[in-house]
Structure 1
Amino acid sequence: MPRLSPLSRCHMPFNDNHIEPSSVATVRRLPIEFTGSGSEYFRIWIVNLLLLLVTLGLYWPWAKVRRQRYFWGNTLVDGDPLGFHGDPKQMFKGWVLVGVLFVLYNWASSFSAVASLVAFVALAALWPALWRSSMAFRMGNTSWRGLRFRFVGSLRDAYLAHLPPFLVVLPMVLLTFAIPEDPEQAPPEWVMASFGGAFVLLVLTLPWLLWRMKAYQHRHYALGPLQTDFRASVGSFYLLAIKPFLLFAGVMGLIALYVVTSFGSADALGGLLGEMMWVLPVLVVGFWVLMFLGIGPWITTRLQNLVWTKTGNGQMRFISQLRFRDMLWMSIKNGLLIGITLGLYWPFAKVAMARLRLEAVHVRTVTDMQALLAAEHDRPAEAAGDAAGDFFGLDVGL
């Protein structure tokens, strides 16, 4: 096997249909299987739930480790399971850190508008580092065939990925200063217009913002000398968003038309409360069904296929072939059974969904993975925990 430089993206191009290896390379397919069962995970889930209740939530990091180890250990890539090696004590520190940050933010928000703005900026300044730390912790504590994965995204790139969302949301935060403190006093018209414009800007840029986040994540996964690249374009994210956006806008437009035509006059407003006693529940249920049975499964399917099929490099890449009808049926089935059992079917639903989504993915590679991993094991070991020890070595649950 040719020698690979550390963290090589292997600049051989790939497209939607195949890897483009050298003429003598053989493409191998590495299947992904999930062997977990609902009954096994139910026992873990019910114990975790009871201990969380007894400890008032303090058991959360240990519960998360048990859950991760079960799901990782039952995820087989080419017949070998993943391993999770996270330390719940480190995860507890991260959990406490994030909890303290949000308590301070809420306290500052109730203290004064200026304190709220300062807290928002401070939290936004720290958030990219925490986000990167969480991914480094999770990847650094995940292994396959004895070799740890790594997340190699830089802190600078994490801040660059988060800067546009911060700049888009900041005007909405600043506009809150112009809202009167008296709830009976209406905000000025220019404030409402500006707030509406900022919200429209946020909606229009959401696909771009999501693309930036996914690009940062999927360009920096590494195993041994291999590092992934991400070839999805911004336009593909906008194309993905068009259908659910048009469906959502159409439903909202019909609701608005119904309200205007039914209660457009002052005389008709008198019957609004009585009418809404039955209209509002119908609208809420209809909206939930639309999101749960239509938009949600469709976005999940298309986003998984887009993101993972565009992740890889010239020697190894992922292929996701999740089908919408399978996702739709699973969502309906899980939703009904969770409702009928008053939530007790939840662990079975999680296992079924994990199996559906994981087994829709496989890996194509022209690299002899066994030889690559053997070569990596022969290299001098790096300091333990370096990959997972970035920024306090904490998992903040992001």
Structure 2
Amino acid sequence: MNNKVVFHGKGGEFFGIWIVNILLSIVTLGIYSAWAKVRTKKYFHGNLELDGDRFDYHATPKQILIGRLIASVCVLVWAVASNFMPVIASLLMLVFVGFSPLLARNNARFDARMTSYRNVRFNFNGSLKGAYWAMLGCGLFSSIPLVILLIAAGAVRDTSIVASVLFIILSFAAYIFIFANVTASITRYFANGYQYGDRQFSAEISTGFFVKTVLFAALLGIGIFIAVFGVIAIVAGMGAMVSVSSGQMDSGFGQILGAVGGMGGMACMVLLMVLVSAFIQVRARNYTFAQMKVEGEPEYGFSSTLTTGGFLSLTVTNFLAQVFSLGLARPWVMVRTSHYFADHTLVIGDLSQLKAKGELTDDGAAIADEVAAAFDIELGLG
């Protein structure tokens, strides 16, 4: 039995909440932003429905405010240090990197514990050791082949064409392996860390799937890059020939043609990066959800049906809407994004038979949640 997730939010309705949140945050010099975050979270959780029941969000503004104040102090200290004491700023950044797995783990745990469905709260019980391995240790370990390759290349110093091509191919393979292995490790950590009441989430995540996905995305990007810039080069060449034959090169036509070609090339590069990123995100989400289970009797599964074209269209139109509206389209962007993800998410199983005991958990503080948000390291399953 497939149960579709439904989102009932409306852009116009949320726009009113959003604009009031901004105005009150400005008037109160940012203090109301904690209440604004809780109102926003409650709106989006409260409009998310599964099998006739809606989710809820339980964090209090006081929790968010304390965490936000501490996060603001951290950001301020780092900003001042980066302008006046660059060495201290570099050391602080290293300290922050060292604490980032802790912050990401605590951020996931706080958000999960503040979320409930049918009066039963979620939880995240991923270990701190697992967080450090997934986010730092795995990357360092995966980089060993690349380090060995660089040392070997420096020792041999063979500048022949064959050696150079071989070095490029091996470096490309090493970077693919590093990115795929780290992505798989982080996905595995979060997919196996969530809990609904006393029922554990689990998933068998294959590193091989991510290697194939990232490799295919890289080859796809390279192929499109060559094709697009081949067309641009041909058009630019034809334009230059026309301008020379007509005697317009001296009048600035050549410079204009070059500028247009340059801007077109940059736009294609940006779009290409967005396309490759969308391809990886869509495949990763669909695969991860297909692997995830909620243990217990009966067992439940998940399904994600995102498409690269649909997600790419959503990303591009959201960006353009915010640019041309000078940010005023932000509420509609948030709502339509929630609609898109909800429409492509299914829970497999008879939810009328769902039983779970609520576990007693310490709500904790939102400090790590706010610091993680301030430095943009919020991780989890989308």
Check 1:142–1:369 CA distance in 2 against 1; reply closer, same or farther (3 A cut).
Answer: farther
Query: Contact 1:169/1:202 (CA < 8 Å) preserved in 2?
Result: no
Query: Contact 2:110/2:366 (CA < 8 Å) preserved in 1?
Result: no
In the alignment, structure 2 segments of 5+ residues that lack a partner are 145-156, 158-169, 238-253
Cα shift at 1:97: 2.8
Aligned ranges 1:310-349 → 2 under 5 Å: 310-314=291-295, 315-349=299-333
1:137 to 110, 121, 124: 110
Q: Which residue of 2 aligns with 1:305?
A: 286
Query: Contact 1:168/1:201 (CA < 8 Å) preserved in 2?
Result: no
CA distance in 1, matches of 2:86, 2:322: 42
Q: Give SS of 1:76's match.
A: strand
Q: Give SS of 1:70's match.
A: helix
Q: Give SS of 1:228's match.
A: strand
Query: Contact 2:176/2:211 (CA < 8 Å) preserved in 1?
Result: no
Check 1:106–1:275 CA distance in 2 against 1; reply closer, same or farther (3 A cut).
Answer: farther
Check 1:236–1:61 CA distance in 2 against 1; reply closer, same or farther (3 A cut).
Answer: farther
Q: Give SS of 1:232's match.
A: coil
User: Greater share of helix residues, 1 or 2?
Assistant: 2
Check 1:390–1:228 CA distance in 2 against 1; reply closer, same or farther (3 A cut).
Answer: farther
Q: Give SS of 1:149's match.
A: strand
Aligned ranges 1:13-162 → 2 under 5 Å: 28-55=1-28, 57-109=30-82, 115-162=88-135
Query: Contact 1:168/1:198 (CA < 8 Å) preserved in 2?
Result: no
CA distance in 2, matches of 1:300, 1:170: 23
Query: Contact 2:63/2:365 (CA < 8 Å) preserved in 1?
Result: no
AA at the equivalent of 2:300 = M
Q: Which residue of 1 aligns with 2:336?
A: 352
AA at the equivalent of 1:351 = V
CA distance in 2, matches of 1:61, 1:198: 46
Q: Which residue of 1 aligns with 2:185?
A: 212
- Judge which range, 202-211 or 50-59, deviates more: 50-59
Cα shift at 1:75: 0.5
Give the TM-score taking structure 2 as reference length.
Answer: 0.72
CA distance in 2, matches of 1:78, 1:56: 41
Q: Give SS of 2:306's match.
A: coil
CA distance in 2, matches of 1:321, 1:369: 25
CA distance in 2, matches of 1:105, 1:340: 33
Cα shift at 1:389: 1.1
Cα shift at 1:364: 1.6
Cα shift at 1:395: 4.4
Give the aligned length.
330
Cα shift at 1:278: 3.6
* Alignment deviations for residues 293-317 of structure 1 (CA, whole Å, 9 cap, x no partner): x334433322221222221145122
Q: Which residue of 2 aligns with 1:295?
A: 276
Query: Contact 1:338/1:345 (CA < 8 Å) preserved in 2?
Result: yes
Query: Contact 2:64/2:366 (CA < 8 Å) preserved in 1?
Result: no
Cα shift at 1:256: 9.0
AA at the equivalent of 1:363 = V
Cα shift at 1:35: 1.0
Give the TM-score taking structure 1 as reference length.
Answer: 0.70
CA distance in 2, matches of 1:359, 1:246: 30
Aligned ranges 1:186-265 → 2 under 5 Å: 204-250=177-223
Check 1:393–1:353 CA distance in 2 against 1; reply closer, same or farther (3 A cut).
Answer: closer
In the alignment, structure 1 segments of 5+ residues that lack a partner are 1-27, 172-189, 191-196, 263-271
Cα shift at 1:72: 0.5
CA distance in 1, matches of 2:26, 2:40: 17
AA at the equivalent of 1:312 = K
2:338 is the alignment partner of 1:365: no
* Alignment deviations for residues 227-263 of structure 1 (CA, whole Å, 9 cap, x no partner): 111222111112222233223334666799999x99x
Query: Contact 2:201/2:292 (CA < 8 Å) preserved in 1?
Result: yes
Q: Which residue of 1 aligns with 2:245?
A: none
CA distance in 2, matches of 1:198, 1:102: 36
Query: Contact 1:164/1:209 (CA < 8 Å) preserved in 2?
Result: no
Query: Contact 2:303/2:347 (CA < 8 Å) preserved in 1?
Result: yes
CA distance in 2, matches of 1:300, 1:96: 33
CA distance in 2, matches of 1:326, 1:123: 36
CA distance in 1, matches of 2:63, 2:69: 10
Identity of aligned residues (%): 27
AA at the equivalent of 2:284 = L
Cα shift at 1:130: 1.4
